[in-house]
């Protein structure tokens, strides 16, 4: 059960975005996926759900590759591009279309609108959504099929403080129900309040795969401090590193 990433490598042209990466994401807890810009987090997540084809290696969700899942949206909910909804379509219509396409009951649309706090925005066109509303709509789509696994790429981005508190509660509740919850984020202090386990990558390779406690309180440091120490040598795009900035 859970997600298994097995010796995954992905090359784009001459760039290795992910290099021989292996780790497991266990059900029943929230796992944070961390790493500097360009580390390969999104590539890994897209590879897990078959949006990217690994150069070598594989990924399994509850024991099967995503492509073999019989009802993917019932098994895996994803947020990989928060702007996926058609701009001229109202949020509620977008959800109804996805629900109808996948045979989910119409009442599930109302349920996910409630779960994501989109009641007042449901009749607004997606193109008029703020970043945070778009995130909530993306999460609503991910939840439509009541999936056992959630793969969310930077879901906290753009949420206001109330939204951040809301999503922490949502993710904890989903994990407490025994689901697999895997999310990437750069918001480390927010993340530290919700994750049980942390996977850190840098330059496409695994740097750490450990319980939050082992990285933080046991070592007497915050998640930010742990992260900076772990990724010091793996940062590809450091502020001020550009040639122009140095002169
Ligand atoms: N479609 C693509 N074509 C070519 N190169 C790509 C493509 N997608 C990603 N890359 C490259 O792969 C590497 C990993 O990118 P990726 O988006 O997976 O990183 P990330 O960890 O998600 O970064 P961020 O924190 O900025 O979201 C980068 O060097 C990036 O430029
Ligand atoms: Mg990314």
Predicted confidence (pLDDT) per residue in 118-169, tens digit: 998 888 888 888 888 889 999 999 999 999 999 999 999 889 999 999 999 9
Average pLDDT of span 184-212: 96
Q: Which of 8, 9, 11, 12 to mutate to test the pocket of ligand 1 (most atoms within 8 A of CB)?
A: 12
| Dihedral in degrees, nearest 10, Cα atoms 3, 198, 162, 177 | 40
Q: Which of 9, 21, 43 to mutate to test the pocket of ligand 1 (most atoms within 8 A of CB)?
A: 43
**How high is the pLDDT of residue 237?**
64
95-110 tens-digit pLDDT = 999 999 999 999 999 9
**How high is the pLDDT of residue 246?**
42
178 occurs within a structural domain = no
86 occurs within a structural domain = yes
6 occurs within a structural domain = no
Q: For 33-64, what is the HEC assignment?
A: EECCCCCCHHHHHHHHCCCCCCCEEEEEECCE
Q: Which two tokens stand for residue 18?
A: 């992910």
32-69 tens-digit pLDDT = 999 999 999 999 999 999 999 999 999 999 999 999 99
Give the residue numbers spanning the domain of 83. 79-147
Cβ contact 25:180 at 8 Å: yes
98 occurs within a structural domain = yes
Domain count, the chain: 1
Average pLDDT of span 67-78: 92
97 occurs within a structural domain = yes
**106 or 84, which is more confident:** 106
């Amino acid at each position: 059960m859970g997600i298994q990433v097995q010796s995954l490598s992905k090359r784009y042209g001459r760039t290795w975005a992910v290099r021989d990466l292996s780790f497991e994401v266990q059900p029943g807890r929230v796992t944070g996926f961390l790493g500097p810009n360009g580390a390969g987090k999104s590539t890994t997540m897209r590879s897990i759900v078959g949006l990217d084809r690994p150069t070598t290696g594989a990924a399994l969700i509850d024991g099967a590759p995503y492509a073999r899942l019989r009802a993917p949206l019932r098994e895996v909910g994803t947020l990989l591009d928060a702007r996926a909804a058609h701009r001229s379509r109202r949020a509620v219509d977008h959800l109804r279309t996805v629900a109808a396409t996948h045979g989910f009951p119409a009442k599930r649309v109302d349920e996910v609108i409630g779960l994501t706090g989109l009641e007042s925005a449901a009749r607004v066109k997606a193109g008029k959504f703020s970043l945070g509303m778009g995130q909530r709509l993306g999460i609503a789509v991910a939840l439509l099929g009541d999936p056992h696994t959630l793969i969310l790429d930077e879901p906290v981005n753009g949420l206001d403080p109330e939204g951040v508190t809301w999503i922490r509660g949502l993710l904890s509740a989903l994990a407490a129900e025994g689901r697999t919850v895997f999310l990437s984020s750069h918001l480390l202090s927010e993340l530290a309040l919700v994750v049980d386990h942390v996977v850190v990558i840098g330059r496409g390779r695994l740097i750490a795969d450990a319980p939050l406690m082992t990285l933080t309180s046991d070592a007497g440091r915050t998640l930010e401090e742990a992260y900076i120490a772990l990724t010091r040598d793996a940062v590809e795009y450091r502020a001020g590193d550009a040639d122009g900035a140095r002169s």
